[in-house]
């Protein structure tokens, strides 16, 4: 193309660059007046306070502007000479790359997104403010992608043409269905039924109160270990993340290894529980489950496991027992659990004094944190993967998401009582009181993990965005008993639910017994192993379980009889 023919395009690009640079600068200018609580995904966690003033170093901002001008011109020139290369899976289909206008739009969007992210990195502010700006930018960039709008999504438009409009009709149908059910579908939920094709490990409810049902599972071996095994899942989710399907059920795996296995199934809180506190949960859920498991099994002590928030709750219950001189628990496993909230990753940017005070006034003495709000917050921590990906697929292209048991569980949310929720916020994320011996008081007892003297197994996921690996590893520094730390690959859920039979991923151990202060130091001596960490944990748990005895023939014992088959009725209650 001749220079005189190129000039109009170059003029357009220059005008576009100037406009966009001015726009992004104005966007940052307005951050100081922005309410973080109004951002997508912030309904459950974000602070109602406005952002403080932020500034940019002029020389760095000028460099970003220069780089933007050059890259914008490069994109324009490349679009006139050949196909643009779009290194983003949202724009990977031929419908984008074969359409010069669509490709140019996508390329400029990617440049604008990168520029805005670069500006976020040079903000002159404290670490928390910079993290909040970074989060805002991520949300804005994710929401403004041209792929999210039917008129600009070349792939969706081609699908509409090829299907003669049927994809649009199906997308509208999907949207109406999701509006009726109150959440966006991430999987084909019609294909899953709790108790039929998920949460199917055979068992029975042997105890229930206003907080939990306790499920005992049918032994799959002729003999079982004398010490029973109690699992405490997170109260912010349904328990069956540990029992999705037979092939990936941690509960079934434990039963197959010869453990007499019990699990806490949480009641989905309703208005009648709006004044329930953290202490209430520890007393009537965790301590009751420990007591009943002991009574049914007849064992002097039991082995326990806590997952995520369930682990944090279990740790405080163990501290209460230790303060009372109660030795009912012989060992504990913590899966992606924090007791030290010094490093909480991305969730830290939501928490400050004003936010916690706001929540305490709102629901600290009675109220309910809705499960849908909490689920929305966690989804927007990964907006492209867990939000906009489904907006495009479900609504713009009229697709039915493929069946995925984990995503079905993810959408099956639970409520939280307000007083319980606000105690947790203040004593963990805000003040980190659990890590300070004697600072937090639960059921009249000072929480001191230094008195919880028992064997401890701690698992953390390397890519966990909810419980960062540093936070998970920090748990190793608090319990005086023999402690083993194992790190697995992947994230908060996929790293945990990694059965050996699939031989996927890997894990790391350090067998010299050293537990240095930081995870980085621990990693220097860690050894990688292929496959699942479950086998390592199973060997450890067997060593804590003493001799084997004949497996029981019936559920429960004495006054504790089978109430109903697993998975029970509490888990079936929807928000």
Tokens 């039979």 correspond to 501
Long-range contacts of 545-548, Cβ-Cβ distance < 8 Å, separation of 24 or more:
545/225, 545/226, 545/227, 545/229, 545/259, 545/303, 546/225, 546/226, 546/227, 547/225, 547/226, 548/223, 548/224, 548/225, 548/226, 548/258
| Inter-residue contact 322 to 250 (CB < 8 Å) | no
Indicate the pairing of strand 456-461 with strand 329-335.
parallel
Query: Which sequence positions are flagged as catalytic?
Result: 308
129-160 pLDDT, tens digit per residue, is 888 899 999 999 999 999 999 999 999 999 99
Across the strands, what pairs with 424? none
For 472-511, give the DSSP string.
Answer: HHHGGGT--S-EEEEEESS-TTTTTS--GGGT-SEEEE-T
Distance CA 324, CA 322 (A): 5
**Contact partners, residue 558, CB within 8 Å, separation at least 6:** 295, 296
CATH code at 203-370+415-572: 3.40.50.1820
Quote the distance between the C-alpha of residue 381 and its chain's center: 9
Enumerate residues 6+ apart whose C-beta is below 8 A from 59: none
Which residue ranges make up each domain of the chain? Answer: 3-162, 203-370+415-572
At 382 the pLDDT is 86
* Helix, strand, or coil (residue 423): helix
Whole-number Å distance between alpha carbons of 129 and 137: 12
Per-residue pLDDT of the chain (575 residues; tens, 9 = 90+): 445 545 554 454 445 445 544 554 454 454 444 444 444 444 344 444 555 567 889 999 999 999 999 999 999 888 888 888 899 999 999 999 999 999 999 999 999 999 999 999 999 988 888 888 999 999 999 999 999 999 999 999 999 999 999 999 999 999 999 999 888 999 999 999 999 999 999 999 999 999 999 999 999 999 999 999 999 999 999 999 999 999 999 999 999 999 999 999 999 999 999 999 999 999 999 999 999 999 999 999 999 999 999 999 999 999 999 999 999 999 999 999 999 999 998 888 888 899 999 999 999 999 999 888 888 888 888 898 889 999 999 999 999 999 999 999 999 989 999 999 999 999 999 999 999 999 999 999 999 999 999 999 999 999 999 999 999 999 999 999 999 999 999 999 999 999 999 889 999 999 898 999 999 999 999 999 999 999 999 999 999 998 999 999 999 999 999 999 999 999 999 87
Amino acid 39: pLDDT: 45
* CA atoms lying within 13 Å on the CB side of residue 324: 15
What Cα–Cα distance (Å) separates residue 40 from each residue in 54, 185, 194, 533, 543? Answer: 21, 17, 30, 36, 47
Q: What is the pLDDT of residues 508-537, one digit of tens each?
A: 999 898 999 999 999 999 999 999 999 999
pLDDT tens per residue, range 383-429? 988 899 999 999 999 999 999 999 999 999 899 999 999 999 999 99
Please state, in angstroms and rounded to a whole number, the distance separating the CA atoms of residues 419 and 69.
53
Strand 223-225 and strand 564-565: the pairing is unpaired
Chain segment 78-109, per-residue pLDDT in tens: 888 888 889 999 999 999 999 999 999 999 99
């Amino acid at each position: 193309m001749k220079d005189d023919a190129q000039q109009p395009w170059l003029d357009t690009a220059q005008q576009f660059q100037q406009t966009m640079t001015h726009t992004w600068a104005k966007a940052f200018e307005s951050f100081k007046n922005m309410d973080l609580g109004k951002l997508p995904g912030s309904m459950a966690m974000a602070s109602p306070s406005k952002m403080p003033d932020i500034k940019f170093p002029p020389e760095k901002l000028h460099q970003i502007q220069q780089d933007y001008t050059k890259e914008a011109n490069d994109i324009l020139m490349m679009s006139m000479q050949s196909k643009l290369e779009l290194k983003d899976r949202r724009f990977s289909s031929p419908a984008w790359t074969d359409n010069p206008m669509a490709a140019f739009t996508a390329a400029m969007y990617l440049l604008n997104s990168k520029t805005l992210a670069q500006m976020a990195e040079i903000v002159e502010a404290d670490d928390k403010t910079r993290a909040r700006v970074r989060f805002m930018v991520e949300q804005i960039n994710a929401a403004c992608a041209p792929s999210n709008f039917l008129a600009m999504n070349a792939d969706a438009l081609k699908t509409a043409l090829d299907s003669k409009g049927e994809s649009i009709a199906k997308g509208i149908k999907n949207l109406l269905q999701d509006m009726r059910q109150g959440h966006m579908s991430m999987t084909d939920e019609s294909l899953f039924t709790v108790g039929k094709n998920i949460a199917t490990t055979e068992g029975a409810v042997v105890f229930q109160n206003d907080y939990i049902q306790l499920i005992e599972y049918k032994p799959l071996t002729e003999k079982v270990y004398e010490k029973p095994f109690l699992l405490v899942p997170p109260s912010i989710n349904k328990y069956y993340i540990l029992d999705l399907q037979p092939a990936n059920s941690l509960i079934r795996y434990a039963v197959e290894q010869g453990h007499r296995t019990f699990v806490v199934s949480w009641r989905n809180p309703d208005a009648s529980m709006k004044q329930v506190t953290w202490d209430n949960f520890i007393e009537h859920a965790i301590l009751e489950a420990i007591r009943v498991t002991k009574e049914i099994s007849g064992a002097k002590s039991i082995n326990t496991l806590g997952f995520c928030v369930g682990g944090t709750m279990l740790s405080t219950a163990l501290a209460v027992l230790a303060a009372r001189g109660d030795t009912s628990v012989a060992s504990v496993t913590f899966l992606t659990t924090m007791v030290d909230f010094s490093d909480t990753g991305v969730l830290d940017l939501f928490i400050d004094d004003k936010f916690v005070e706001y929540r305490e006034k709102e629901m600290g003495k009675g109220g309910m944190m809705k499960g849908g709000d909490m689920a929305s917050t966690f989804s927007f921590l990964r907006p492209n993967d867990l939000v906009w990906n489904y907006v495009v697929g479900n609504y713009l292209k009229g697709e039915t998401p493929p069946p995925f048991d984990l995503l079905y569980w993810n959408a099956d949310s639970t409520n939280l009582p307000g007083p319980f929720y606000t105690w947790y916020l203040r004593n963990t994320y805000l003040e980190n009181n659990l890590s300070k011996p004697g600072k937090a008081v639960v059921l009249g007892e000072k929480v001191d993990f230094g008195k919880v003297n028992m064997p401890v197994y701690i698992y953390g996921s390397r890519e966990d965005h909810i419980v960062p690996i540093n936070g998970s590893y920090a748990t190793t520094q608090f319990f005086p008993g023999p402690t083993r730390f194992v790190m697995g690959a992947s994230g908060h859920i996929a790293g945990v639910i990694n059965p050996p039979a699939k031989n996927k991923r890997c894990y790391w151990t350090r067998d010299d017994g050293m537990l240095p202060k930081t995870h980085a130091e621990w990693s220097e001596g860690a050894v990688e192993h292929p496959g699942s960490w479950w086998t390592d944990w199973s060997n450890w748990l067997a060593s804590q379980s003493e001799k084997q005895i004949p497996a029981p023939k019936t559920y429960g014992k004495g006054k504790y009889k089978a109430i109903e088959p697993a998975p029970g009725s509490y888990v079936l209650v929807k928000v």
